[in-house]
Amino acid sequence: MCGIVGYIGKKEALPILLEGLRDLEYRGYDSAGIAILNQGKIERIREVGKVDMLVKKIAGKKFPGSIGIAHTRWATHGGVTEENAHPHLAGNGKLVLAHNGIIENYRELKKEIKDQNFESETDSEILAKLIFQNYSGDLLKAVKMTLPRVRGTYGLAIMHADHPDEIVVARLGSPLVVGVGEDEYYLASDVTPILPFTKQVTFLDDGEVALINRQEFKIFNLKDEQIIKGVTQIDWDIETAQKGGFENFMLKEIFDQPTVFEDAIRGRIDMSEGTAKLGGLNMNLEEMRAIKRIILIACGTASYACLAAKYAFERLSGIPTEVDVSSEFRYRDPIVDEHTLIFAVSQSGETADTIMALREAKRKGGVVRGIVNVVGSTIARETGAGTYIHAGPELAVASTKAYTNMVAILLLYALEFGRLHHTTPATGQRILQSLLQIPEKMNEILKQSEQIKILADKYKDYNDFLFLGRGINYSVALEGSHKLKEISYIHSEAYPAGEMKHGMNALLTPDFPVLAILTQNQLYEKMKSSIEEVRARKSKTIIIASVGDEEAKELADDIVYVPKTMELLEPLLNTIPLQLFAYHTAVALGRDVDRPRNLAKSVTVE
């Protein structure tokens, strides 16, 4: 997730900017850069890799000046190169801009720019050029003229060589904080880089633009009305600030899901046609219609996201869809041809087994595409096409928000293929409307975190656990079980509920609690019967049920309610209480939830 740092005051800017970049390293990034304004000239330096690489590049050079901005980039548009790193220049070096976020309509804005000499592949450079094009002596005015034209998200810091005492900042969907010192101001994407210097901060809200100079800063909305805000005293330390006030990264990432879900689907839906538009597929309609079979290859949590998507692909498009564990796919001599589309799904894009599996699929003539989180990763490069899930860096080993966004992207692909077959525009529109409601419903579930914490404390001392689901919720049961075992170290299994009588019932005792997913869908009555079997064997039952389902209470020792949604979208909601249950159980047992034993975030060896 990109990070911005800025300073204006009496001190030398360079050390403050570099320290700020280091304090933002926890967010994840692939390149970094700084720009300092001194004596009417902007000096900029950028480098791919860690901040240490940037520091080495700066060594021996002088960058005097007491006003500057800096940036760590998490690539979204364009590969990981120095040219794509921020800050970006415009107007022959007169204007410099650092940008967090995504400009959805950058292609149409690009057509309006007179200076078509671009040094990068980014949407951010287009924004810098457009602001400069609108500049006529007043930097704040130029920014306020430009931003109403922008669709997407942004956190912006902008300087101009002719304004040596000004930084203009703006926010829409990407956080910005201003730290208040004595005749000096600090700027950052969150409070972390500011805390070593001041704990007095003001948070910008969406749609606000601020003009910062050495004596004061003023906040305006895009209607040019001044906004009066107070200053907040921050009592966090730096480590707490990096986690956004949460106890650890995993909990923060669970709570990030409503926001990053919006990032995943933003600009990728076409409500008028009831379809999705995922340009990274790089296939025309005829090539898409030629696909007769889909294979989803992944490992761990990503494979459970794929299993949820299998139901959507087959129901919406009628295309036979398989889910293969990557480590098995390459060794079973898979049958693929030019009519087989293979999606390689991985958060890191560096999962060794998935890389080897996609190479095998390519070797056999399949059409291979990637679905990853990390821009410029091996899978992204080797497939050359596909989709980024825009979950931002995921620092906890146990995946949460990446899972959600994988499901979201795969659902959009299922709809896009479905609209080429038998899914009607009306059905597509209903699905998209329901997708747009998901973030609000996620927030309703997250409000139950304390309730689920009490539940976790009640069950933390059991040595075994069973998760049950049917249909699309079997994939949710698998992911819930996976989360519990990997961070709490409790033995856990997941079963399709209809299979209980074929073996699993033999293990059920009062000491073997069962978590069952009983949301109201077409398999509701079947699932109720399976839970009755469990209760007959005296196992305790925790039930995930739809809001308003009073019957479910009769089957439950404990119950958690989730909002209703379309059946194909249920994994987006039903997984969240299971994430929280696993998290709170692990914390109650004293586990290191961010770094569970024997596990790594990215498995880069077989």
For 264-320, the pLDDT digits (tens) are 999 899 999 999 999 889 999 999 999 999 999 999 999 999 999 999 999 999 999
Interatomic CA distance for residues 105 and 151, integer angstroms: 6
Average pLDDT of the chain?
93
- Stretch 463-487: mean pLDDT: 97
Order across the sheet with 208-212: list the strands: 88-90, 95-100, 154-160, 167-172, 208-212, 217-221, 226-227
Q: What residues are annotated to the active site? A: 2, 601
Interatomic CA distance for residues 85 and 81, integer angstroms: 6
DSSP H/E element including 168: strand 167-172
pLDDT given for residue 138 in this prediction: 96
Reference 124, options 154, 151, 147, 148; nearest CA is 154
Interatomic CA distance for residues 236 and 483, integer angstroms: 29
Model pTM above 0.85: no
For 448, the token pair is: 């139950």
For 120-165, the pLDDT digits (tens) are 999 999 999 999 999 999 999 999 999 999 998 899 999 999 999 9
* 3-state SS track over 280-312: HHCCCHHHHHCCCEEEEEECHHHHHHHHHHHHH
Maximum average pLDDT range among 153-157, 245-249, 496-500, 568-572? 568-572
Structural domains in the chain plus CATH codes: 3-242 (3.60.20.10), 251-439 (3.40.50.10490), 448-588 (3.40.50.10490)
pLDDT given for residue 602 in this prediction: 62
Q: Is the pLDDT of residue 100 over 80?
A: yes
Reference 369, options 391, 354, 353; nearest CA is 354
Interatomic CA distance for residues 602 and 353, integer angstroms: 11
Helix, coil or strand: residue 456: helix
Interatomic CA distance for residues 282 and 546, integer angstroms: 39
CA angle, 202 then 208 then 212, to 5°: 60
Reference 176, options 6, 421, 393, 402; nearest CA is 6
For 480-511, the pLDDT digits (tens) are 999 999 999 999 999 999 888 788 888 888 99
- Stretch 547-558: mean pLDDT: 94
Interatomic CA distance for residues 349 and 603, integer angstroms: 10
